[in-house]
Amino acid sequence: MDKYVQVENVRMVFNTKKGPFVALRDINLNIAQGEFVALIGHSGCGKSTLLNLVAGLTLPSDGAMLCAGREIAGPGPERGVVFQNHSLLPWLTCFDNVYLAVERVFGQTESKASLKTRTHEALALVGLTHAEHKHPHEISGGMKQRVGIARALSMQPKVLLLDEPFGALDALTRAHLQDELMKITAETHSTVVMVTHDVDEAVLLSDRIVMMTNGPAATIGEILHVELPRPRERLALANDAKYHEYRGAVLDFLYRRQLRPAA
Amino acid sequence: MSAVILMKGFENMETQEQTTPPVAAVVDVVAPDTARAPGVLRLATQMAAAFIKLLVPPVLGLALFIGIWALISQTSPQLPGPLKTWDSAVALFSDPFYNNGPNDQGIGWNILASLQRVAIGFGMAALVGIPLGFMIGRFQFLSAMMSPIISLLRPVSPLAWLPIGLLVFKAANPAAVWVIFISAIWPMIINTAVGVNRIPADYMNVARVLNLSEWKIFTKILFPAVLPYMMTGIRLSIGVAWLVIVAAEMLTGGVGIGFWVWDEWNNLNVEHIIIAIFIVGIVGLLLEYALTLLAKRFSYE
Protein backbone atom coordinates (compact mmCIF):
# COMPACT_ATOMS: atom_id res chain seq x y z
CA MET A 1 0.00 0.00 0.00
CA ASP A 2 1.70 3.08 -1.23
CA LYS A 3 -0.50 5.69 0.38
CA TYR A 4 -1.03 4.38 3.89
CA VAL A 5 -1.03 7.83 5.42
CA GLN A 6 -2.18 10.59 3.12
CA VAL A 7 -1.82 14.30 3.80
CA GLU A 8 -3.34 16.46 1.09
CA ASN A 9 -3.13 20.24 0.80
CA VAL A 10 -3.17 20.62 4.52
CA ARG A 11 -3.11 24.05 6.01
CA MET A 12 -3.02 24.83 9.71
CA VAL A 13 -4.00 28.21 11.09
CA PHE A 14 -3.99 29.00 14.79
CA ASN A 15 -6.12 31.80 16.15
CA THR A 16 -3.96 33.88 18.42
CA LYS A 17 -4.55 37.14 20.22
CA LYS A 18 -2.66 38.92 17.45
CA GLY A 19 -4.91 37.42 14.81
CA PRO A 20 -4.62 34.26 12.72
CA PHE A 21 -1.21 32.60 12.57
CA VAL A 22 -0.49 30.35 9.61
CA ALA A 23 1.70 27.53 10.92
CA LEU A 24 1.58 25.17 7.96
CA ARG A 25 0.55 25.51 4.33
CA ASP A 26 0.36 23.27 1.26
CA ILE A 27 1.47 20.11 3.02
CA ASN A 28 1.32 17.09 0.73
CA LEU A 29 2.78 13.85 1.96
CA ASN A 30 2.10 10.18 1.36
CA ILE A 31 3.59 7.55 3.61
CA ALA A 32 3.77 3.89 2.61
CA GLN A 33 3.08 1.01 4.96
CA GLY A 34 6.21 -0.04 6.84
CA GLU A 35 8.02 3.16 5.92
CA PHE A 36 10.09 5.15 8.42
CA VAL A 37 9.74 8.88 7.82
CA ALA A 38 11.60 11.59 9.71
CA LEU A 39 10.36 15.19 9.89
CA ILE A 40 13.25 17.58 10.35
CA GLY A 41 13.52 21.34 10.51
CA HIS A 42 14.47 24.24 12.73
CA SER A 43 12.47 24.77 15.88
CA GLY A 44 9.19 26.53 15.20
CA CYS A 45 8.87 25.10 11.69
CA GLY A 46 5.70 23.24 12.57
CA LYS A 47 7.04 19.70 12.44
CA SER A 48 5.40 18.85 15.78
CA THR A 49 2.22 20.52 14.54
CA LEU A 50 2.25 18.21 11.53
CA LEU A 51 2.76 15.19 13.78
CA ASN A 52 -0.12 16.29 16.03
CA LEU A 53 -2.29 16.55 12.92
CA VAL A 54 -1.48 12.96 11.95
CA ALA A 55 -2.11 11.94 15.56
CA GLY A 56 -5.48 13.68 15.38
CA LEU A 57 -4.75 15.76 18.48
CA THR A 58 -5.45 18.84 16.35
CA LEU A 59 -7.53 19.02 13.23
CA PRO A 60 -6.37 20.82 10.09
CA SER A 61 -7.89 24.17 9.14
CA ASP A 62 -7.99 23.02 5.54
CA GLY A 63 -7.11 19.95 3.51
CA ALA A 64 -7.60 16.22 3.96
CA MET A 65 -5.85 13.68 6.13
CA LEU A 66 -6.34 9.94 5.76
CA CYS A 67 -4.93 6.92 7.54
CA ALA A 68 -5.50 3.47 6.02
CA GLY A 69 -8.17 4.97 3.77
CA ARG A 70 -10.15 6.55 6.60
CA GLU A 71 -10.32 10.18 7.50
CA ILE A 72 -8.41 11.25 10.58
CA ALA A 73 -11.10 12.88 12.72
CA GLY A 74 -9.43 12.60 16.12
CA PRO A 75 -6.88 10.66 18.06
CA GLY A 76 -7.17 6.91 18.17
CA PRO A 77 -5.26 3.89 19.36
CA GLU A 78 -4.42 2.84 15.79
CA ARG A 79 -1.97 5.75 15.80
CA GLY A 80 0.32 5.29 18.81
CA VAL A 81 2.06 8.44 20.01
CA VAL A 82 5.31 8.64 21.95
CA PHE A 83 5.45 12.08 23.49
CA GLN A 84 8.49 14.31 23.81
CA ASN A 85 8.52 14.09 27.60
CA HIS A 86 7.40 10.50 28.04
CA SER A 87 4.03 11.54 29.62
CA LEU A 88 3.80 8.54 31.89
CA LEU A 89 1.24 8.77 34.66
CA PRO A 90 3.36 9.15 37.80
CA TRP A 91 0.90 7.35 40.08
CA LEU A 92 0.93 4.15 38.02
CA THR A 93 3.76 1.62 37.83
CA CYS A 94 5.43 1.01 34.49
CA PHE A 95 3.32 -2.10 34.13
CA ASP A 96 0.07 -0.25 34.85
CA ASN A 97 0.99 2.57 32.49
CA VAL A 98 1.29 0.09 29.63
CA TYR A 99 -1.65 -1.99 30.85
CA LEU A 100 -3.92 1.06 30.62
CA ALA A 101 -3.24 1.21 26.88
CA VAL A 102 -3.47 -2.55 26.35
CA GLU A 103 -6.74 -2.76 28.23
CA ARG A 104 -8.24 0.00 26.13
CA VAL A 105 -7.39 -1.63 22.81
CA PHE A 106 -7.80 -5.34 23.58
CA GLY A 107 -9.95 -5.29 26.74
CA GLN A 108 -13.21 -5.96 24.89
CA THR A 109 -12.02 -9.08 23.13
CA GLU A 110 -9.37 -10.70 25.30
CA SER A 111 -9.07 -12.23 28.77
CA LYS A 112 -7.25 -10.52 31.63
CA ALA A 113 -4.43 -13.06 31.45
CA SER A 114 -3.88 -12.33 27.80
CA LEU A 115 -3.88 -8.56 28.47
CA LYS A 116 -1.22 -9.10 31.10
CA THR A 117 0.83 -11.21 28.72
CA ARG A 118 0.67 -8.44 26.13
CA THR A 119 1.85 -5.91 28.71
CA HIS A 120 4.75 -8.13 29.78
CA GLU A 121 5.71 -8.63 26.14
CA ALA A 122 5.67 -4.92 25.36
CA LEU A 123 7.93 -4.16 28.32
CA ALA A 124 10.21 -7.06 27.44
CA LEU A 125 10.50 -5.66 23.91
CA VAL A 126 12.11 -2.49 25.29
CA GLY A 127 14.14 -4.45 27.83
CA LEU A 128 12.34 -3.30 30.94
CA THR A 129 11.03 -6.52 32.45
CA HIS A 130 13.05 -5.86 35.58
CA ALA A 131 11.47 -2.43 36.13
CA GLU A 132 7.82 -3.44 35.66
CA HIS A 133 6.75 -2.65 39.18
CA LYS A 134 8.63 0.59 39.57
CA HIS A 135 7.02 3.99 39.41
CA PRO A 136 8.21 6.50 36.80
CA HIS A 137 10.07 8.63 39.35
CA GLU A 138 12.18 5.64 40.33
CA ILE A 139 13.68 5.07 36.87
CA SER A 140 15.98 7.05 34.58
CA GLY A 141 14.90 9.34 31.75
CA GLY A 142 15.92 6.78 29.12
CA MET A 143 13.90 4.08 30.84
CA LYS A 144 10.85 6.36 31.04
CA GLN A 145 11.06 7.01 27.33
CA ARG A 146 11.30 3.25 26.74
CA VAL A 147 8.12 2.72 28.77
CA GLY A 148 6.51 5.40 26.58
CA ILE A 149 7.57 3.46 23.49
CA ALA A 150 6.34 0.20 25.03
CA ARG A 151 2.99 1.82 25.75
CA ALA A 152 2.65 2.99 22.15
CA LEU A 153 3.79 -0.35 20.71
CA SER A 154 1.56 -2.40 23.02
CA MET A 155 -1.50 -1.07 21.22
CA GLN A 156 -0.18 -2.56 17.99
CA PRO A 157 -0.74 0.73 16.21
CA LYS A 158 -0.90 0.94 12.45
CA VAL A 159 1.30 4.01 12.66
CA LEU A 160 3.81 4.90 15.35
CA LEU A 161 4.23 8.64 15.87
CA LEU A 162 7.31 9.84 17.73
CA ASP A 163 7.67 13.47 18.78
CA GLU A 164 11.38 14.07 19.40
CA PRO A 165 11.39 11.00 21.61
CA PHE A 166 15.07 11.08 22.43
CA GLY A 167 15.56 14.85 22.55
CA ALA A 168 15.88 15.06 26.31
CA LEU A 169 18.34 12.18 26.64
CA ASP A 170 22.13 12.14 26.78
CA ALA A 171 24.01 11.13 23.63
CA LEU A 172 24.90 7.60 24.76
CA THR A 173 21.39 6.72 25.93
CA ARG A 174 20.01 8.24 22.75
CA ALA A 175 22.26 6.09 20.54
CA HIS A 176 21.28 3.02 22.49
CA LEU A 177 17.56 3.72 22.14
CA GLN A 178 17.94 4.50 18.42
CA ASP A 179 19.47 1.05 17.93
CA GLU A 180 16.66 -0.51 19.92
CA LEU A 181 14.03 1.37 17.94
CA MET A 182 15.58 0.14 14.67
CA LYS A 183 15.49 -3.43 15.94
CA ILE A 184 11.88 -3.12 17.12
CA THR A 185 10.57 -1.55 13.93
CA ALA A 186 12.38 -4.20 11.88
CA GLU A 187 10.60 -6.88 13.93
CA THR A 188 7.16 -5.27 13.92
CA HIS A 189 7.32 -3.75 10.41
CA SER A 190 5.78 -0.60 11.88
CA THR A 191 5.01 2.50 9.90
CA VAL A 192 6.79 5.29 11.73
CA VAL A 193 6.69 9.08 11.61
CA MET A 194 9.31 10.71 13.78
CA VAL A 195 9.94 14.36 14.52
CA THR A 196 13.59 15.12 15.15
CA HIS A 197 16.14 17.90 15.00
CA ASP A 198 19.07 15.53 14.99
CA VAL A 199 20.52 15.05 11.50
CA ASP A 200 22.38 11.84 12.36
CA GLU A 201 19.29 10.36 13.91
CA ALA A 202 17.24 11.18 10.83
CA VAL A 203 19.74 9.62 8.39
CA LEU A 204 20.38 6.57 10.54
CA LEU A 205 16.74 5.65 11.10
CA SER A 206 14.68 6.83 8.12
CA ASP A 207 13.75 5.68 4.69
CA ARG A 208 12.78 9.23 3.83
CA ILE A 209 13.63 12.55 5.44
CA VAL A 210 11.03 15.28 5.09
CA MET A 211 12.78 18.64 5.42
CA MET A 212 10.61 21.54 6.41
CA THR A 213 11.13 25.21 5.62
CA ASN A 214 11.14 27.80 8.36
CA GLY A 215 7.87 29.08 9.77
CA PRO A 216 5.59 30.94 9.78
CA ALA A 217 3.64 29.35 6.94
CA ALA A 218 6.11 26.48 6.79
CA THR A 219 5.85 23.76 4.22
CA ILE A 220 7.81 20.79 2.97
CA GLY A 221 11.02 22.07 1.40
CA GLU A 222 12.50 18.86 0.14
CA ILE A 223 12.25 15.11 0.62
CA LEU A 224 15.38 12.99 0.74
CA HIS A 225 15.29 9.24 0.07
CA VAL A 226 17.79 7.42 2.25
CA GLU A 227 18.76 4.28 0.38
CA LEU A 228 21.05 2.67 2.90
CA PRO A 229 20.58 -1.09 3.24
CA ARG A 230 19.07 -2.45 6.46
CA PRO A 231 19.95 -3.55 9.04
CA ARG A 232 22.06 -0.46 9.51
CA GLU A 233 25.10 -0.44 11.73
CA ARG A 234 26.02 2.78 13.45
CA LEU A 235 29.76 2.00 13.41
CA ALA A 236 29.90 0.80 9.80
CA LEU A 237 27.99 3.88 8.64
CA ALA A 238 30.50 6.19 10.25
CA ASN A 239 32.83 5.44 7.33
CA ASP A 240 30.16 5.07 4.67
CA ALA A 241 30.45 7.62 1.85
CA LYS A 242 26.72 7.47 1.04
CA TYR A 243 25.81 8.10 4.67
CA HIS A 244 27.93 11.22 4.67
CA GLU A 245 26.42 12.33 1.40
CA TYR A 246 22.90 12.14 2.89
CA ARG A 247 24.05 13.79 6.03
CA GLY A 248 25.66 16.57 3.98
CA ALA A 249 22.46 17.07 2.00
CA VAL A 250 20.34 17.52 5.12
CA LEU A 251 22.90 19.82 6.72
CA ASP A 252 23.07 21.85 3.53
CA PHE A 253 19.30 22.27 3.54
CA LEU A 254 19.14 23.21 7.20
CA TYR A 255 22.16 25.45 7.52
CA ARG A 256 22.63 26.99 4.10
CA ARG A 257 19.20 27.24 2.53
CA GLN A 258 17.06 27.52 5.67
CA LEU A 259 19.43 29.26 7.99
CA ARG A 260 17.71 31.53 10.43
CA PRO A 261 19.22 34.99 10.74
CA ALA A 262 18.76 34.93 14.50
CA ALA A 263 17.47 31.86 16.26
CA MET B 1 31.72 -6.48 71.52
CA SER B 2 30.60 -6.62 67.91
CA ALA B 3 28.59 -3.48 68.41
CA VAL B 4 31.67 -1.67 69.54
CA ILE B 5 33.57 -2.85 66.48
CA LEU B 6 30.74 -1.64 64.28
CA MET B 7 30.72 1.71 65.95
CA LYS B 8 34.46 2.01 65.60
CA GLY B 9 34.18 1.11 61.95
CA PHE B 10 31.41 3.66 61.53
CA GLU B 11 33.56 6.33 63.07
CA ASN B 12 36.38 5.51 60.71
CA MET B 13 34.07 5.84 57.75
CA GLU B 14 32.82 9.14 58.97
CA THR B 15 36.23 10.70 59.45
CA GLN B 16 37.47 9.21 56.18
CA GLU B 17 40.63 7.82 57.76
CA GLN B 18 41.53 5.77 54.78
CA THR B 19 45.12 5.35 55.85
CA THR B 20 44.05 2.88 58.55
CA PRO B 21 43.03 -0.48 57.14
CA PRO B 22 39.86 -1.96 58.67
CA VAL B 23 41.77 -4.81 60.35
CA ALA B 24 43.81 -2.31 62.31
CA ALA B 25 40.60 -0.72 63.45
CA VAL B 26 39.36 -3.97 64.90
CA VAL B 27 42.64 -4.50 66.72
CA ASP B 28 42.35 -0.98 68.00
CA VAL B 29 39.00 -1.71 69.56
CA VAL B 30 40.08 -4.88 71.30
CA ALA B 31 42.88 -2.89 72.88
CA PRO B 32 42.55 -0.51 75.78
CA ASP B 33 39.44 1.37 76.92
CA THR B 34 40.99 4.70 76.13
CA ALA B 35 40.78 3.93 72.40
CA ARG B 36 37.01 3.43 72.20
CA ALA B 37 35.83 5.87 74.82
CA PRO B 38 36.21 8.97 72.63
CA GLY B 39 34.29 7.31 69.77
CA VAL B 40 31.28 6.39 71.88
CA LEU B 41 31.39 9.70 73.63
CA ARG B 42 31.46 11.60 70.36
CA LEU B 43 28.49 9.72 68.97
CA ALA B 44 26.59 10.43 72.19
CA THR B 45 27.41 14.11 72.10
CA GLN B 46 26.43 14.31 68.44
CA MET B 47 23.04 12.78 69.19
CA ALA B 48 22.58 15.05 72.17
CA ALA B 49 23.46 18.07 70.08
CA ALA B 50 20.92 17.16 67.41
CA PHE B 51 18.30 16.55 70.07
CA ILE B 52 18.96 19.88 71.75
CA LYS B 53 18.87 21.70 68.43
CA LEU B 54 15.47 20.18 67.68
CA LEU B 55 13.93 20.64 71.10
CA VAL B 56 15.29 23.84 72.56
CA PRO B 57 13.55 26.46 70.39
CA PRO B 58 9.97 25.17 70.87
CA VAL B 59 10.50 24.56 74.58
CA LEU B 60 11.92 28.04 74.93
CA GLY B 61 8.95 29.48 73.09
CA LEU B 62 6.45 27.69 75.32
CA ALA B 63 8.38 28.73 78.45
CA LEU B 64 8.29 32.34 77.31
CA PHE B 65 4.55 32.09 76.69
CA ILE B 66 3.87 30.62 80.14
CA GLY B 67 6.22 33.19 81.69
CA ILE B 68 4.34 36.11 80.18
CA TRP B 69 1.05 34.53 81.17
CA ALA B 70 2.27 34.14 84.78
CA LEU B 71 3.45 37.74 84.80
CA ILE B 72 0.14 39.08 83.54
CA SER B 73 -1.78 36.96 86.05
CA GLN B 74 0.30 38.52 88.82
CA THR B 75 -0.83 42.02 87.89
CA SER B 76 -4.44 41.20 87.12
CA PRO B 77 -6.02 39.09 89.87
CA GLN B 78 -9.04 37.88 87.84
CA LEU B 79 -6.81 35.96 85.43
CA PRO B 80 -5.68 32.64 86.92
CA GLY B 81 -1.98 31.82 86.57
CA PRO B 82 -0.48 28.71 84.94
CA LEU B 83 -0.24 26.72 88.19
CA LYS B 84 -3.81 27.34 89.21
CA THR B 85 -5.00 26.45 85.72
CA TRP B 86 -2.92 23.27 85.76
CA ASP B 87 -4.45 22.14 89.05
CA SER B 88 -7.88 22.82 87.67
CA ALA B 89 -7.10 20.88 84.50
CA VAL B 90 -5.90 17.87 86.50
CA ALA B 91 -9.18 17.89 88.44
CA LEU B 92 -11.19 18.32 85.24
CA PHE B 93 -9.51 15.50 83.37
CA SER B 94 -9.64 13.10 86.30
CA ASP B 95 -13.27 12.43 85.38
CA PRO B 96 -13.87 13.43 81.75
CA PHE B 97 -16.93 11.25 81.13
CA TYR B 98 -19.43 11.93 83.88
CA ASN B 99 -22.99 12.74 82.97
CA ASN B 100 -25.27 14.76 85.24
CA GLY B 101 -27.97 15.64 82.78
CA PRO B 102 -27.80 17.63 79.54
CA ASN B 103 -26.27 20.76 81.02
CA ASP B 104 -23.56 19.17 83.12
CA GLN B 105 -21.45 16.61 81.33
CA GLY B 106 -17.76 15.71 81.46
CA ILE B 107 -15.26 17.54 79.27
CA GLY B 108 -14.76 14.38 77.22
CA TRP B 109 -18.44 14.34 76.19
CA ASN B 110 -18.25 18.00 75.24
CA ILE B 111 -15.21 17.47 73.03
CA LEU B 112 -16.79 14.43 71.40
CA ALA B 113 -20.05 16.28 70.79
CA SER B 114 -18.17 19.08 69.00
CA LEU B 115 -16.11 16.61 66.99
CA GLN B 116 -19.27 14.81 65.96
CA ARG B 117 -20.87 18.00 64.64
CA VAL B 118 -17.68 18.85 62.77
CA ALA B 119 -17.54 15.35 61.32
CA ILE B 120 -21.13 15.47 60.07
CA GLY B 121 -20.94 19.02 58.70
CA PHE B 122 -17.53 18.49 57.17
CA GLY B 123 -18.48 15.09 55.75
CA MET B 124 -21.51 16.51 53.99
CA ALA B 125 -19.48 19.44 52.72
CA ALA B 126 -16.96 16.96 51.26
CA LEU B 127 -19.74 14.91 49.67
CA VAL B 128 -21.13 17.97 47.93
CA GLY B 129 -18.02 20.12 47.53
CA ILE B 130 -15.57 17.66 46.01
CA PRO B 131 -17.81 16.42 43.16
CA LEU B 132 -18.91 19.99 42.53
CA GLY B 133 -15.25 21.06 42.39
CA PHE B 134 -14.54 18.34 39.83
CA MET B 135 -17.42 19.41 37.65
CA ILE B 136 -16.53 23.10 37.87
CA GLY B 137 -12.94 22.26 36.95
CA ARG B 138 -13.96 20.04 34.05
CA PHE B 139 -16.71 22.07 32.45
CA GLN B 140 -16.03 25.69 31.55
CA PHE B 141 -19.73 26.48 31.38
CA LEU B 142 -20.38 25.32 34.92
CA SER B 143 -17.34 27.22 36.11
CA ALA B 144 -18.63 30.46 34.61
CA MET B 145 -22.05 29.73 36.06
CA MET B 146 -20.89 29.04 39.60
CA SER B 147 -18.13 31.62 39.83
CA PRO B 148 -20.35 34.62 40.78
CA ILE B 149 -22.20 32.58 43.42
CA ILE B 150 -18.98 31.38 44.98
CA SER B 151 -17.40 34.84 44.92
CA LEU B 152 -20.47 36.29 46.59
CA LEU B 153 -21.00 33.69 49.30
CA ARG B 154 -17.44 32.72 50.20
CA PRO B 155 -16.50 35.88 52.12
CA VAL B 156 -19.63 35.74 54.30
CA SER B 157 -18.90 35.13 57.96
CA PRO B 158 -20.00 31.58 58.83
CA LEU B 159 -22.10 32.74 61.76
CA ALA B 160 -24.25 34.86 59.47
CA TRP B 161 -25.66 31.54 58.24
CA LEU B 162 -26.80 30.46 61.68
CA PRO B 163 -30.18 32.24 61.70
CA ILE B 164 -30.99 30.71 58.32
CA GLY B 165 -30.12 27.30 59.75
CA LEU B 166 -32.27 27.85 62.83
CA LEU B 167 -35.13 29.03 60.67
CA VAL B 168 -34.98 26.11 58.25
CA PHE B 169 -34.18 23.27 60.65
CA LYS B 170 -36.05 24.63 63.69
CA ALA B 171 -33.43 23.05 65.98
CA ALA B 172 -30.05 24.07 67.36
CA ASN B 173 -28.03 21.00 66.51
CA PRO B 174 -28.72 20.80 62.76
CA ALA B 175 -28.25 24.55 62.57
CA ALA B 176 -24.73 24.22 64.01
CA VAL B 177 -23.98 21.40 61.55
CA TRP B 178 -25.31 23.58 58.75
CA VAL B 179 -22.92 26.37 59.68
CA ILE B 180 -20.01 23.92 59.59
CA PHE B 181 -21.20 22.65 56.22
CA ILE B 182 -21.46 26.06 54.62
CA SER B 183 -18.09 27.27 55.91
CA ALA B 184 -16.18 24.06 55.11
CA ILE B 185 -17.46 23.65 51.58
CA TRP B 186 -15.65 26.55 49.86
CA PRO B 187 -12.02 25.48 50.24
CA MET B 188 -12.92 22.02 48.95
CA ILE B 189 -14.79 23.29 45.89
CA ILE B 190 -12.13 25.81 45.02
CA ASN B 191 -9.06 23.63 45.56
CA THR B 192 -10.56 20.68 43.71
CA ALA B 193 -11.51 22.89 40.77
CA VAL B 194 -8.04 24.45 40.67
CA GLY B 195 -6.51 20.97 40.77
CA VAL B 196 -8.58 19.86 37.79
CA ASN B 197 -7.57 22.99 35.87
CA ARG B 198 -3.90 22.43 36.56
CA ILE B 199 -3.70 18.87 35.26
CA PRO B 200 -0.80 18.86 32.80
CA ALA B 201 -2.00 18.92 29.19
CA ASP B 202 0.25 15.91 28.55
CA TYR B 203 -1.89 13.67 30.72
CA MET B 204 -5.03 14.72 28.92
CA ASN B 205 -3.28 14.11 25.59
CA VAL B 206 -2.46 10.60 26.77
CA ALA B 207 -6.13 10.14 27.59
CA ARG B 208 -7.08 11.34 24.11
CA VAL B 209 -4.54 9.20 22.27
CA LEU B 210 -5.55 6.12 24.24
CA ASN B 211 -9.19 7.13 23.70
CA LEU B 212 -10.00 6.39 27.33
CA SER B 213 -13.59 6.34 28.53
CA GLU B 214 -14.78 9.19 30.73
CA TRP B 215 -14.77 6.79 33.71
CA LYS B 216 -11.18 5.68 33.06
CA ILE B 217 -10.12 9.31 32.61
CA PHE B 218 -11.63 10.04 36.00
CA THR B 219 -10.18 7.09 37.92
CA LYS B 220 -6.77 6.89 36.24
CA ILE B 221 -5.98 10.53 35.47
CA LEU B 222 -8.29 13.16 36.95
CA PHE B 223 -8.65 11.75 40.44
CA PRO B 224 -5.01 10.88 41.16
CA ALA B 225 -3.80 14.14 39.60
CA VAL B 226 -6.23 16.21 41.65
CA LEU B 227 -5.79 14.30 44.91
CA PRO B 228 -2.97 16.49 46.32
CA TYR B 229 -5.03 19.65 45.67
CA MET B 230 -8.08 18.00 47.15
CA MET B 231 -6.17 17.09 50.29
CA THR B 232 -5.11 20.72 50.68
CA GLY B 233 -8.75 21.76 50.38
CA ILE B 234 -9.79 19.18 52.96
CA ARG B 235 -7.11 20.34 55.36
CA LEU B 236 -8.15 23.97 55.04
CA SER B 237 -11.79 22.98 55.43
CA ILE B 238 -11.33 21.03 58.60
CA GLY B 239 -9.35 23.94 60.04
CA VAL B 240 -12.20 26.32 59.26
CA ALA B 241 -14.80 23.86 60.58
CA TRP B 242 -13.02 23.53 63.90
CA LEU B 243 -12.65 27.31 64.15
CA VAL B 244 -16.32 27.83 63.51
CA ILE B 245 -17.77 25.13 65.77
CA VAL B 246 -16.75 26.92 68.96
CA ALA B 247 -18.52 30.10 67.92
CA ALA B 248 -21.58 28.26 66.61
CA GLU B 249 -22.00 26.23 69.79
CA MET B 250 -21.71 29.34 71.94
CA LEU B 251 -24.82 30.57 70.20
CA THR B 252 -26.77 27.33 69.93
CA GLY B 253 -26.05 25.75 73.33
CA GLY B 254 -26.40 22.06 74.17
CA VAL B 255 -23.37 19.89 74.67
CA GLY B 256 -20.07 20.89 73.05
CA ILE B 257 -16.82 22.62 73.72
CA GLY B 258 -18.14 26.00 72.57
CA PHE B 259 -21.19 25.77 74.77
CA TRP B 260 -18.98 24.63 77.62
CA VAL B 261 -16.85 27.78 77.30
CA TRP B 262 -19.96 29.91 77.48
CA ASP B 263 -21.27 27.96 80.44
CA GLU B 264 -18.02 28.37 82.34
CA TRP B 265 -18.06 32.09 81.56
CA ASN B 266 -21.51 32.29 83.14
CA ASN B 267 -20.09 30.45 86.15
CA LEU B 268 -17.09 32.82 86.06
CA ASN B 269 -14.78 29.81 86.06
CA VAL B 270 -11.91 31.44 84.17
CA GLU B 271 -9.52 28.51 84.66
CA HIS B 272 -11.88 26.35 82.62
CA ILE B 273 -12.07 28.93 79.85
CA ILE B 274 -8.30 28.92 79.57
CA ILE B 275 -8.29 25.12 79.59
CA ALA B 276 -10.89 25.20 76.80
CA ILE B 277 -8.63 27.42 74.74
CA PHE B 278 -5.85 24.89 75.08
CA ILE B 279 -8.18 22.01 74.26
CA VAL B 280 -9.46 23.72 71.12
CA GLY B 281 -5.88 24.45 70.08
CA ILE B 282 -4.63 20.94 70.70
CA VAL B 283 -7.57 19.21 69.01
CA GLY B 284 -7.18 21.53 65.99
CA LEU B 285 -3.48 20.70 65.87
CA LEU B 286 -4.20 16.97 66.00
CA LEU B 287 -6.80 17.21 63.22
CA GLU B 288 -4.36 19.12 61.05
CA TYR B 289 -1.58 16.66 61.80
CA ALA B 290 -3.76 13.64 61.02
CA LEU B 291 -4.72 15.13 57.66
CA THR B 292 -1.12 15.98 56.83
CA LEU B 293 -0.23 12.34 57.44
CA LEU B 294 -3.15 11.27 55.28
CA ALA B 295 -2.03 13.64 52.51
CA LYS B 296 1.49 12.20 52.62
CA ARG B 297 0.03 8.73 52.34
CA PHE B 298 -1.73 9.74 49.11
CA SER B 299 1.07 11.69 47.45
CA TYR B 300 2.62 9.73 44.63
CA GLU B 301 6.15 11.10 44.58
Q: Quote the pLDDT of residue A259.
A: 72
Mean pLDDT, contiguous 10-residue spans, chain B (301 residues): 40 40 43 59 86 88 92 87 87 81 80 92 94 91 92 89 91 91 94 92 87 87 90 91 90 86 88 90 92 80 57
pLDDT tens-place string over residues A117-149: 999 988 988 888 999 999 999 998 889 988 998
Distance CA B4, CA B39 (A): 9
Residues in B whose CB is inside 8 Å of some CB of A read 202-203, 205-206, 208-212, 216, 220-221, 224-225, 300-301
Inter-chain residue contact A90 with B301, CB threshold 8 Å: yes
Strands A208-212 and A36-40: parallel
Residue A50 and residue A39 in contact, taking contact as beta carbons nearer than 8 Å: yes
Q: How far apart are the first and last CA of chain A?
A: 40
Check whether A260 has a pLDDT greater than 60: yes
Q: Quote the pLDDT of residue A263.
A: 46
Q: How confident is the model at residue A169 (pLDDT cuts 50, 70, 90)?
A: confident
Residue A11 and residue A3 in contact, taking contact as beta carbons nearer than 8 Å: no
CA distance B228 to chain A (A): 12
Residue ranges of domains in chain A: 1-78+158-263, 87-156
Adjacent-strand bridge partners of A211: A40, A222
Residue ranges of domains in chain B: 2-79, 93-298
At residue B180's C-alpha, the angle toward residues B175 and B181, to 5°, is 90
**Range of weakest confidence among A85-94, A161-170, B11-20:** B11-20
| Chain B neighbors of A155, CB-CB under 8 A | 210
Q: Quote the pLDDT of residue A183.
A: 87
Is the peptide bond preceding residue A216 cis, with omega within 30 degrees of 0?
yes
Inter-chain residue contact A80 with B206, CB threshold 8 Å: no
CATH 3.40.50.10800 fits B93-298, yes or no: no
Residue B165 and residue B174 in contact, taking contact as beta carbons nearer than 8 Å: yes
Q: Quote the pLDDT of residue B209.
A: 87
CA distance A23 to chain B (A): 20
The full 3-state SS of B78-105, as one line of letters, equals CCCCHHHHHHHHHHHHCCCCCECCCCCE
Nearest to A100 among B208, B220, B225 (CB): B220
Nearest to B211 among A77, A89, A92 (CB): A77
Percent of chain A clearing pLDDT 70 (strictly above): 98
Burial zone of A256 (CB within 10 Å; 0-12 exposed, 13-18 middle, 19+ buried)? exposed
CA distance B199 to chain A (A): 11
Read out DSSP for B185-249?
A: HHHHHHHHHHHHHTS-HHHHHHHHHHT--HHHIIIIIIHHHHHHHHHHHHHHHHHHHHHHHHHHH
DSSP B159: G
Inter-chain residue contact B216 with A100, CB threshold 8 Å: yes
CA distance A124 to chain B (A): 21
Distance CA B188, CA B201 (A): 23
CA distance A62 to chain B (A): 22
Q: Which residue from A minimizes the CA distance to B301? A: A137
What single-letter amino acid sits at B200? P
Specify the fold of A1-78+158-263: Rossmann fold (3.40.50)
Strands A70-71 and A220-225: unpaired
Say how many residues make up chain B: 301
DSSP B154: T
Please tell me whether the interface predicted TM-score (ipTM) of this complex is above 0.85: no
The full 3-state SS of chain A, as one line of letters, equals CCCCEEEEEEEEEEEECCEEEEEEEEEEEEECCCCEEEEECCCCCCHHHHHHHHHCCCCCCEEEEEECCEECCCCCCCEEEECCCCCCCCCCCHHHHHHHHHHHHHCCCCCHHHHHHHHHHHHHHCCCHHHCCCCHHHCCHHHHHHHHHHHHHHCCCCEEEEECCCCCCCHHHHHHHHHHHHHHHHHHCCEEEEEECCHHHHHHHCCEEEEECCCCCECEEEEEECCCCCCCCHHHHCCCHHHHHHHHHHHHHHHHHCCCCCC
Residue A101 and residue A123 in contact, taking contact as beta carbons nearer than 8 Å: no
What single-letter amino acid sits at B175? A
| Mean pLDDT in residue range A79-102 | 90
CB pairs under 8 A between A and B: 48
Q: Which residue from B minimizes the CA distance to A79? A: B209
Nearest to A104 among B205, B212, B225 (CB): B212
